[in-house]
Amino acid sequence: MSIKPLVILDQKIGPGKTVINLDIAKLHTRTKLEVPVIIERARKDGPTLLILAGIHGNEVNGVEIVRQIIKKKYNKPQCGTIICIPVVNVFGFLNQERMFPDGRDLNRVFPGSLKGSLAARFAYYIMEEIVPHVDYVIDYHTGGSSRFNYSQIRVDANDLESLSLAKIFGAKFIIDSRNRDKSFRQAATEKGKKVLLFEGGKSLHLDKQVTRQGVRGAVRVMHHLGLTNFSAEISEYPEVTEQILIHKSHWIRANHSGMYRRIVSIGDPINNKEVIGSISDPYGDFERSVKSTHNGFIICSNQAPIVNQGDALVHISTEQEFL
């Protein structure tokens, strides 16, 4: 059976593995911004899934998830096509920085512009050369700075197909989240693509549990879409027993500056007025407890040992339902 023609960046993509470079921009040294795009096609037509990470260059845990998917050859479909971009913001990754080389946040300039900033031009080519060929997207992110996100999927819960895919992914928390303006998720959604945004861990940090959840979630989605039969692999995974759809949430912020000690565990339920931790000076003269202001679940936690007044400490769900 013949498969439909696929041409990306002027290159015809046949069955098997193809690696092309997205190299549409250069730095002031004339160094190319080359981003490897790894494409695996089956000999039988089917859906096309885009798996990407590293839109923010310092969010390395997502890069590790996509790397493991490729290493384990989970990206080789029995039908359809799987496109993997392990590191979108290569130069941010090299510099261990969130931003694009021009100082802009790549995830705030989509759908981009052919005559805009360096980041905007890069976003434009992703939207014009890659996204039109895909049906589904898994976009991997982590928490920023020292804020550690419990593994979660963010979707617009009003999109029933995306919500169904989020349930299949299997993360404990599904965050009902509107598309952020000028984000990749918003731009891809407006082109009719179904996008799952994964958040897990924190910047410049690898966490085995987060990585495992990210890989297993992708496997479940690929199996559901019929790209590959992963029945054997999924049978070895722990059963997903509890999923919580979070509609609203609230950050508990520091009322004082000082040394911060957290005593609660991320992912756990918490009660109103329950002690989260404490903030003290370094001299033993001052210490204050930090308490929750809501009942809910801890979905993100600041792991910094020193905080300033007003810093976000713990992200707690305030309106949720069990699925």
Write down the pLDDT at residue 34.
86
Residue-by-residue DSSP string for 82-108: EEEES-SSHHHHHHT-SS-TTS--GGG
CATH of the domain spanning 250-322, picked from 2.40.50.100, 1.20.1090.10, 3.40.50.11860, 1.10.540.10: 2.40.50.100
Interatomic CA distance for residues 55 and 175, integer angstroms: 20
Tokens of 302: 């600041």
Query: pLDDT digit of tens for each residue in the chain (323 aa)?
Result: 568 889 998 999 999 999 999 987 777 888 887 899 999 999 999 999 999 999 999 999 999 999 999 999 999 999 999 999 999 999 899 999 999 988 999 999 999 999 999 899 999 999 999 999 999 999 999 998 899 999 999 999 999 999 999 999 999 999 999 999 999 999 999 999 999 999 999 999 999 999 999 999 999 999 999 999 999 999 999 998 899 999 999 999 999 999 999 999 999 999 999 999 999 999 999 999 999 999 999 999 999 999 999 999 999 999 999 99
Nearest partner of 82 among 123, 125, 52, judged by Cα? 52
Which of helix, strand or coil describes residue 312? strand
Interatomic CA distance for residues 40 and 84, integer angstroms: 8
Q: Supply φ then ψ for residue 207, to 5 degrees.
A: -125, 125
Cis preceding linkage at 47, omega within 30: no
Q: If phi over 0 gives left and psi between -120 and 50 gives alpha, with beta otherwise, what is residue 9? A: left
Residue ranges per domain, the chain?
7-241, 250-322
Cβ distance 174 to 246 under 8 Å?
yes
Q: Which run of H or E residues covers position 39? A: strand 35-41
User: pTM for the complete prediction?
Assistant: 0.96
- CA 247 centroid distance within chain: 19
Write down the pLDDT at residue 2.
67
CATH of the domain spanning 7-241, picked from 3.30.365.10, 3.40.630.10, 3.30.460.10, 3.40.630.30: 3.40.630.10
Write down the pLDDT at residue 1.
55
